[in-house]
Amino acid sequence: MNAYRLEQEEMIKGWITKKETAGATLDELSGTVVVCGNELVRLVPGANGQLEVSAERFTEVVVLSRRERFEDPKSCLVCGMEHEHAKAATECCAEVE
Ligand SMILES: [Zn+2]
């Protein structure tokens, strides 16, 4: 397992922990598709009752999104959560590196 993969797994685990802390259930998180760089992974329920990461490799991943989403400074570009101020939106997921 190379360093990039490890870092990616850490990022995904951090995201899952954050969502679980916020009260998301296994059911809600199952099936979530995560785009990490050029890799796309799917969160699937594992045998031990925890989410597992199922990697699906593509040569290229293109994310198309409506332009106005990116021009709205009040929603976090990482998780999409809306905030009262642009500053809060920028800092929302800043600790997830
Ligand atoms: Zn966020």
The answer to whether the CB of 16 falls within 8 A of the CB of 51 is yes
Query: Is residue 75 exposed (0-12), middle (13-18) or buried (19+ Cβ within 10 Å)?
Result: middle
- SS3 at position 36: strand
**pLDDT computed for residue 6 by the predictor:** 79
Q: Where are the domains of the chain?
A: 3-57, 65-97
CA 53 to chain centre: 12
Ligand 1: centre distance to CA 57 (Å): 25
Q: Look at residue 29 in the predicted model and tell me its pLDDT.
A: 92
What pLDDT was estimated at residue 19?
Answer: 92
Per-residue model confidence as pLDDT tens digits over 32-48: 988 877 778 889 988 88
Query: Given this model, what pLDDT does residue 24 score?
Result: 92
Distance 83 CA to ligand 1 centre (A): 9
Question: Which strands, in side-by-side order, build the sheet including 51-57?
Answer: 33-36, 39-45, 51-57
Output the CA 55–ligand 1 centroid distance in Å. 23
Residues lower than pLDDT 50 in the chain: 96-97
Query: Is the CB of residue 81 less than 8 Å from the CB of residue 92?
Result: yes
